[in-house]
Chain A
Amino acid sequence: MKRNMMVWMALMLSLMMVFSLLGCSSPAEEGEAEPVEEPAAEDGTDALKVALLVNGPISDAGWNASAYDGLMAVEEEFGAETSYLQVKSLSDCEQELRAYADAGYDIIFAHGFEYQDPAEKLHEEYPDTYFIITSGSKAVGNNVSPIIFLEEEGYYVMGMAAAELTQSGKIGLIGGMEIPSLVYPWMGFELGVAETNPDASVTTNWVGSWEDIGKAKEAAMAQIESGFDVVFCSANAASLGGIEACAENGVWTFGAYGEQLHLAPDVMVGELLLEIPVAFTDVTRQIVEGTFEGGVYSPGVAEGAVIFHWNDELIDGNPELEAIRDKGEQIMAEIRSGERQIRSFSLEIE
């Protein structure tokens, strides 16, 4: 019996080792981070200096790659002197922010909520530096500002489409874990469903993992077998499992945060995308023109930062789907012109 306990303790230990390894793998695996310095502008003092801090490789074709695109867009549009750095671990965030602030950078784009706390600590020391935190939680002073995308505007359109598509009236959402950045934007989805088809119901289920694709697929299968005919899954890598379940069973689905249409071209009606370069250039423009007043910067559909990309290959030639796309584009146009307001749930996160 005692030996058994040893075995179990060892099991637990090895589990912990595996997970702790995973926890630190993404920033650490790229080895030494190297700042890429651009040559200083010729006239020296006046050039706008913009830096970017990311926590993963900029070759990830997703979150970090889009931030690098954003930095390049800023460089092109404002002739800024730019530099980026891949931070090795979370504990280095503060030190690297400080390094850029010391080097006299005017704007530091810190690409992730993990920079919120270090930026709050530093902002008084560096009053001339703007700390812009993507997905940050709150504005502090007049030089720490989070960028919070109004994803709910895009999710509203997705919810409308789901409500139009469902025959059974049962719409399923599957998330990796119950975190604010899924829960609040998804209120927009539920609003879109409720205002389109009040008889349809939305059920939200959680996988409990961001990488167990098999589990995400079973979660989607459980919904599909219980009669759900529109299922949307957002759980980072694990989403692939949910999307595959929809593709195999001919159930309507959507994509989000990355090009996913090719994963299920026959059942994925559209996908929600965030345009990070738009947000970065917009903030930079405000700062350069002196109109930036601090606070939360929350770009949405109107700024072109949240877009809904329809699967035109699937939709073209199908009158029902074309009608949904037309309606969706109509809603987007109304949001853009200010005729329609979608409640900004993401700004209500405490």
Chain B
Amino acid sequence: MEILTSIASFIAADFRTATPLILAGMGLVFSSRAGIVNIGVEGMMLVGALAGVAGSWWFGSAWYGALFAMAMASIISLIFAYLSVTVKADQIVIGAAINILGLGLTTTFARTLFGLNTAPPAIDSFSIIAIPVLSQIPFIGQAFFRQNALVYLAIILVPIASFIMFKTDIGLKVRAVGEHPKACDTVGINVYLVRYITILVSGLFSGLAGAYVSLGLLSFFTENMVAGRGFMALAAVVFGKYSPKGILLAGLVFGAAEAIQFRLQAAGTAIPFQFLLMLPYALTIFALAGFVGKSRAPAANAQPYEKD
């Protein structure tokens, strides 16, 4: 029985850890499919993390905080869109710059808003919602149905994103723009508009993912708290073969690696902790090195579209 409880708590931790990757991934999958490599997601998530806390502080509700986070991160994503789509600058360079901008902006604003090393203000954060009836089922209830609202939302978003991507005109346009922008332009699809919108979507979702880190996992902001989760989300998109369901699985694999390594450490295993700490990252490398099969990027990946 005790082993079942441990497994259930492991699964719950897996979903907790995977959620920011899945949320950010649901936005990234659209921009990636449209041929945009949005490395700036880390910076956008940081902006979301701070804006979430600030919004929750000002408006008194975690949900308003999350909306504010999405709004602020989408503003940053529009800067990225303007530079990469309209100005046609190198997406990788712009993305890296956005990350540095995000770190600088959030550090400055966090210090101005909350002061240096003072007590973080008490804010509304996402609390755990136990789903009635389902959460009472032994094992399954503890593993799956005692999470905060954003975790459920992330899971619900997966089939929705998958449907939009593969079963609707919009999804077809997005995929076509990523594969052959010129052909799209010829048949009257506005390549720039599609790319702008997909980048905006990735901004909105990275904002939400950032808010999850600061308001769902925790209940305050500290400098650079996203700590690489944006890059992990990008890796999850590639690992998940540019499909929402794949990203869900990839996120859960990364989450599982992290959840298991802390549990192994806590169990006092003989494995040196350095190896345990590298588990999620080692797994990423193994996965990308071909153990999951070939992940094919859109043909027009990272290429700015030049209208003749």
Contact = CB atoms under 8 A, between A and B. Distances in A.
**A, B in one complex:** yes
Contacts of A15: 228, 231
A246 to B, nearest CB: 13
Q: Place the interface of chain B in its size category.
A: 35 or more
7 contacts: A4-B295, A7-B301, A14-B99, A215-B227, A222-B259, A223-B262, A226-B6
Nearest to A57: B116
Interface stretch (B75-83, B169-177, B200-208, B264-272): B264-272
Contacts of B100: 17-18, 21
B139 to A, nearest CB: 14
B266 A211 contact: no
B238 to A, nearest CB: 7
A217 B295 CA distance: 33
B151 interface: no
A222 B262 contact: yes
A203 B266 contact: yes
Interface string B280-291: 000000001000
A209 B262 CA distance: 13
Given A213-B222, A214-B218, A237-B223, A4 B116 contact: no
A18 B258 contact: no
Nearest to B224: A211
Contacts of B223: 211, 237
B116 A208 contact: no
A10 B39 contact: yes
A18 B297 contact: no
Contact of B117 (A61, A212, A214, A228): A61
Contact of A226 (B234, B238, B266): B266
Interface in B95-142: 95-96, 99-100, 103, 107, 116-120
Given A203-B268, A240-B222, A209 B302 contact: no
B90 to A, nearest CB: 9
B224 A244 contact: no
A326 to B, nearest CB: 29
Contacts of B117: 60-62, 258
Contact of A4 (B217, B267, B297): B297
Contact of B218 (A7, A21, A213, A226): A213
Interface residues of A, dominant DSSP: helix
A267 interface: no
Given A172-B266, A226-B267, A11 B234 contact: yes
Given A10-B96, A57-B116, A211-B224, A244 B219 contact: yes
Contact of B225 (A7, A8, A10, A212): A212
A208 B281 CA distance: 12
Interface residues of A, number: 51
B273 interface: yes
Interface in A111-156: none
Interface string A18-51: 1001100100010000000000000000000000
Contacts of A59: 116
A221 B259 CA distance: 10
B88 interface: no
A263 B217 CA distance: 16
B213 interface: yes
B301 A214 contact: no
Q: Which of B92, B259, B294: most chain A Cβ within 10 A?
A: B92
Interface in B243-264: 258-259, 262-263
A209 B39 contact: no
Given A21-B103, A62-B117, A222-B266, A208 B220 contact: no
Contact of A206 (B263, B268, B277): B277
B37 interface: yes
Contacts of B295: 4
Nearest to A223: B266
A177 B37 CA distance: 33
B114 to A, nearest CB: 12
A64 to B, nearest CB: 10
Contacts of B37: 7, 10
B33 to A, nearest CB: 15
A13 interface: yes
A225 B6 contact: yes
A262 B119 contact: yes
A182 to B, nearest CB: 13
A241 B265 contact: no
A35 B144 CA distance: 58
Contacts of B42: 18
A237 B220 CA distance: 12
Contacts of A11: 39, 231, 234-235
A225 B9 contact: yes
A196 interface: no
Contacts of B84: none
A47 to B, nearest CB: 33
B99 A18 contact: yes
